[in-house]
């Protein structure tokens, strides 16, 4: 079973903005990406780095997973970002435009050399055609627990038109999803840009959940609650999962090989899915209790 920490809502926060970092302590996002890259001007990079590392070390964010989006190693700031993030207490670093396992290995080497714990993950952003073509290798890397779709950049790379149904992106999103599932990794949908269109956002989030994503990256706090609602197992799903597991346990104890619930035959994959639903529901309840 893959990592079951809730990652329904993953909110980007500009690390150059200290007030935003403080506000994030009260936002009900499952995880935060403290951004040193796109959201930060070149002359603010060093201050943003210090802010992000201080925030990660503060312990002020409760159960929220804290990650730091570093600049790429091909920039003047990337190596210093990784060196600082390594011992910051962050759960993971988020790396833009990962295109190969070689790039992930280079990131891991920098982290290890700077004293990062072996548990520090590398969230790989999938936002180029090259990454899509090499998705199986990227997803299979042992230090990559999460894939993050960079849909804005991928759309630009495709030179495609942005549409409400994301027709140009959907085949590539599906390919990335298959790679993540084969590797047993978490995968997050990309951002929705128009914060003034909550109906459009909700439609895209719902479509992303139905496609198979584990959660969605967000650019505004107003998107957090709708996202949490979309990805939370509802009461019916939790009840069904409990009945599936109870039926499986009973059949196992009695030595029966055929299991049915509500007239449907239950196989091992259904039991695994049921366990995942309950684990996620329990984790969400624990976070909500904080």
Q: What is the pLDDT of residues 42-93, one digit of tens each?
A: 999 999 999 999 999 999 999 899 999 999 999 999 999 999 999 999 999 9
pLDDT of residue 99: 93
Same domain, 36 and 175: yes
CB of 1 closer than 8 Å to CB of 272: yes
Same domain, 285 and 142: no
Domain boundary among 189, 204, 231: 231
Q: Classify residue 283: in a domain, yes or no.
A: yes
Question: Higher-confidence residue: 290 or 215?
Answer: 215
Could you tell me if 103 and 246 lie in one domain? no
Domain annotation covers residue 282: yes
In a domain, 135, yes or no: yes
Please report whether residue 2 resides in a domain.
Answer: no
Task: Give yes or no: residues 163 and 127 share one domain.
Answer: yes
Q: What gap in Å lies between CA 254 and CA 201, rounded to an integer?
A: 48
C-beta neighbour count of 75 within 10 angstroms:
15
Q: Are residues 120 and 24 in the same domain?
A: yes
Kindly report the pTM of this predicted structure. Answer: 0.91
Residue entry with tokens 């309840």: 285
Percentage of residues of the chain with pLDDT beyond 70? 98
Considering the domain boundaries, does residue 112 fall inside one?
yes
* Residue 272 predicted with pLDDT over 90: no
| Domain span including residue 212 | 9-231
On whether residue 101 sits in a domain, the answer given is yes
Average pLDDT, the chain: 94
pLDDT tens by residue, 211-262: 999 999 999 999 999 999 999 988 999 999 999 999 999 888 888 878 899 9
Domain identity same for 110 and 243:
no
Residue 1 has pLDDT above 60, yes or no: no
pLDDT at 2 over 70: no
Residue 160 is assigned to a structural domain of this protein: yes
- Do 252 and 164 lie in one domain? The reply is no
Q: What is the CATH number of the domain that holds 100?
A: 3.20.20.60
Q: Which one of 211, 231, 251 terminates a domain? A: 231
Ranges 13-17, 67-71, 81-85, 279-283: which has the least confidence:
279-283
Same domain membership, residue 124 and residue 53: yes
CA nearest to 144, candidates 95, 86, 97 = 95
Domain count, the chain: 2
Indicate if 217 and 167 belong to the same structural domain. Answer: yes
Phi, psi of 16 (to 5 degrees): -75, -15
Do residue 261 and residue 163 come from a single domain? no
In a domain, 171, yes or no: yes
Let me know whether 257 and 205 are in one domain: no
Residue 153: its pLDDT value, please?
96
74 and 169 part of one domain:
yes
């Amino acid at each position: 079973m893959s990592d079951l920490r809730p990652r329904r809502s993953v909110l980007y926060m500009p690390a150059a903005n200290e007030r935003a970092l403080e506000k994030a302590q009260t936002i009900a996002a499952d995880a935060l990406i403290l951004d040193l890259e796109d959201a930060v001007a070149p002359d603010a990079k060093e201050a943003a780095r210090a802010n992000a590392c201080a925030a990660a070390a503060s312990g002020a964010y409760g159960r929220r997973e804290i990650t730091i989006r570093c600049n790429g190693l091909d920039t003047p700031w990337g190596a210093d970002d990784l060196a600082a993030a390594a011992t910051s207490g962050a759960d993971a670093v988020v790396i833009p435009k990962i295109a190969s396992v070689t790039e992930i290995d280079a990131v891991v080497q920098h982290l290890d050399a700077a004293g990062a714990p072996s548990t520090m993950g590398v969230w790989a952003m999938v936002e180029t055609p090259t990454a899509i073509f090499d998705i199986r290798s990227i997803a299979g890397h042992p230090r990559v627990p999460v894939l993050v779709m960079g849909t804005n950049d991928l759309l630009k790379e495709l030179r495609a038109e942005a549409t409400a149904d994301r027709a140009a992106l959907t085949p590539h999103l599906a390919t990335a999803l298959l790679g993540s599932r084969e590797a047993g990794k978490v995968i997050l949908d990309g951002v929705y840009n128009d914060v003034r269109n909550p109906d459009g956002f909700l439609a895209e989030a719902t479509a992303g959940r139905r496609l198979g994503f584990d959660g969605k990256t967000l650019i505004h706090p107003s998107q957090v609650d709708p996202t949490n609602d979309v990805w939370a197992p509802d009461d019916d799903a939790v009840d069904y999962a409990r009945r599936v597991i109870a039926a499986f346990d009973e059949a196992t104890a009695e030595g029966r090989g055929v299991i049915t619930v509500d007239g449907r035959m239950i196989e091992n994959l259904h039991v695994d899915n049921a366990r995942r639903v309950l684990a996620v529901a329990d984790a969400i309840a624990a976070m909500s209790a904080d």
